[in-house]
Amino acid sequence: MTAPVSLSVVIPAFNEEKRLPGTLARVLPFLRSRGETFEVVVVDDGSKDRTAEVARTAGPEVRVLQNPGNRGKGYSVRNGMLNATGAWRLMCDADLSTPIEDLDTLKAALGGDAQIAIASRAVADANVEKHQSIARESSGRFFNLLVRVLHLSGIKDTQCGFKLFSAAAAEAAFRNSRLDGFAFDVEALVLAKRAGFGVREVGVTWRNDEQTRVSLGRGLAAFVDLFRLKFRS
């Protein structure tokens, strides 16, 4: 009989053949050292490079899901979360801007009705080692202001790509989510809170990776999606 999986780590990846080997080389030894059963689910979002191949050869704990073309980060995370098997499910960016070691920081914050812990760059105990450009930080602050006004009044930073869900909370957050772009985090948290799951916002270490790019079009689409989500709600 296969042992139940304690933790699933979901990594959305689009053309990440260069960064992914280093990320997995750091993630896998850390997870093995914790002594819990785990899986790493790499979701290949229609990559045109060797992303899927390098993921499959990284270790026996890694499995690859392939989207039907390039569908977006929200689609990728939803695909990974709903196909994961872990009792706990962590979404983690391929650039590892938040170190995998901060998983334990998130887990320590859980308890009671709080079955979701989200990494934050905006709370007092966050440690931002390398900032984004002034333009991107300003845009991010305005985005999160709109999030608080329209959807989640108590959360300062919804967009850090490092979030831990219980299996039940992940199902509630992603089973009925629809946004495929960068506002998917907001929709997932709204749906989870509506289902009665508490959310804890936790300060983490974060370091901007200059190789990570968000196109102007996709950035603007995230703002539009905030209003679409409000209208649907």
Give pLDDT, residue 212. Answer: 59
The CA-atom distances, in angstroms, between 199 and each of 53, 117, 165 are 35, 6, 9
Helix (H, G, I), strand (E, B) or coil at 163: strand
Give pLDDT, residue 129. Answer: 80
Give pLDDT, residue 3. Answer: 64
Q: Which residue numbers in the chain have pLDDT < 50?
A: 1
Residue-wise pLDDT tens digits, 5-51 = 999 999 999 999 999 999 999 999 999 999 999 999 999 999 999 99
Cβ-in-10-Å burial (0-12, 13-18, 19+) of 125 comes to exposed
Longest dimension (CA), the chain: 53
**What's the pTM?**
0.91
Give pLDDT, residue 211. Answer: 64
Domains of the chain in start order, with CATH, are 7-232 (3.90.550.10)
Q: DSSP secondary structure string, 40-96? A: EEEEE-S-SSSHHHHHHTS-TTEEEEE-SS---HHHHHHHHHHH---SEEEEE-TT-
The CA-atom distances, in angstroms, between 106 and each of 81, 101, 174 are 17, 10, 20
